[in-house]
Amino acid sequence: MRVLLADGHALFRDGLAELLSMEADLDIVGRVGDSIATIETCRQTRPHLVLLDIRLPYHPILTTMQGVREAAPHARFVVLATDDEPRLFQEVLAAGAHGVLMKTATREELVGAIRAIGYQGKTFLSVSQRSAREIARPARANPLSPRESQILELAAKALSNAQIATLLFISEGTVKRHLTNIYAKLGAVSRLDAVNRARAGGLIQPAVEGGELPPPAE
């Protein structure tokens, strides 16, 4: 099975490669540290399975998954996470990930997940009980489309319209149109108001504890 490792932390990535290279049936076809390299390497190597860091540099996870799917349509995804983020886990599974594992998983869990997903197409979860319960619940109705949610997540990080457009490979005008639609759907009067309403409704990630949303750069 051809496996691509995509993680932003070099030590973790190299350790993972060394661990998996001991398995005779697993062929590590690449080690990459950001979303752009992930998509390009998928296009070149056509892996069967991609181990994908949920916080890979440059692009949001859902955008990276979409790019990988276009580059290697038959590849399966195992998403690796450091933090317990049940709502985001729910999103990546809905977007086509075959598994979510915490980076605290054991070697046996990881190798077992790779084989169960790669050979049998099973779904594999190794997350907290809290996340497992949240994932099992029906997702609450979200008035925002996946693209609108992506844009609002990035706006919440104080990225400008131009920066968001670059990250998502769309035009700045498209970003503005999406923001206008977001304001209308949420009844918001500004970017900050939209972010606060979305957070209050559980539609995007909560603010980092102790931090405030900085003024957005337009």
Q: Could you tell me the CATH number of the domain that includes residue 190?
A: 1.10.10.10
Q: According to the model, what pLDDT value does residue 93 have?
A: 84
Q: Which amino acid is at 161?
A: N
* Predicted local confidence at residue 218, as pLDDT: 43
Same domain flag for 8 and 40: yes
Distance set, CA 69 to CA 9, 45, 76, 107, 175 (Å)? 23, 13, 9, 26, 23
User: Is 107 in the same domain as 161?
Assistant: no
Which portions of the chain are predicted below pLDDT 50? 209-218
Q: Would you say 1 and 45 are in contact if contact means Cβ atoms under 8 Å apart?
A: no
124 and 160 in a single domain? The answer is no
Give the separation between CA 203 and CA 111, rounded to whole angstroms: 33
- Same domain for 183 and 91, yes or no, is no
What's the pLDDT score for residue 201? 73
Instruction: Give the position of tokens 């990546």.
Output: 92
Task: Return the half-sphere exposure (C-beta side, CA atoms, 13 A cut-off) of residue 207.
Answer: 15
**Domain match, 7 and 87 both:** yes
Q: What is the arrangement of strands in the sheet containing 124-126, beginning at the earlier edge strand?
A: 27-32, 2-6, 49-53, 76-81, 99-102, 124-126
What is the C-alpha to C-alpha distance for residues 192 and 53, in angstroms, rounded to an integer?
A: 29
Range of the domain at 102: 2-136
Q: Tell whether 212 is covered by a domain.
A: no
* Same structural domain, 124 and 17: yes
pLDDT at residue 137, rounded to an integer: 60
- Domain end, chosen from 116, 136, 156, is at 136
The pLDDT score that the predictor gives to residue 132 is 57
pLDDT, position 177: 94
Strands 124-126 and 99-102: parallel
pTM of the complete model beyond 0.75: no
pLDDT value of position 217: 43
Q: Are residues 99 and 21 in the same domain?
A: yes
What three-state secondary structure class fits 52?
strand
Regarding whether 28 and 77 lie in a shared domain, the answer is yes
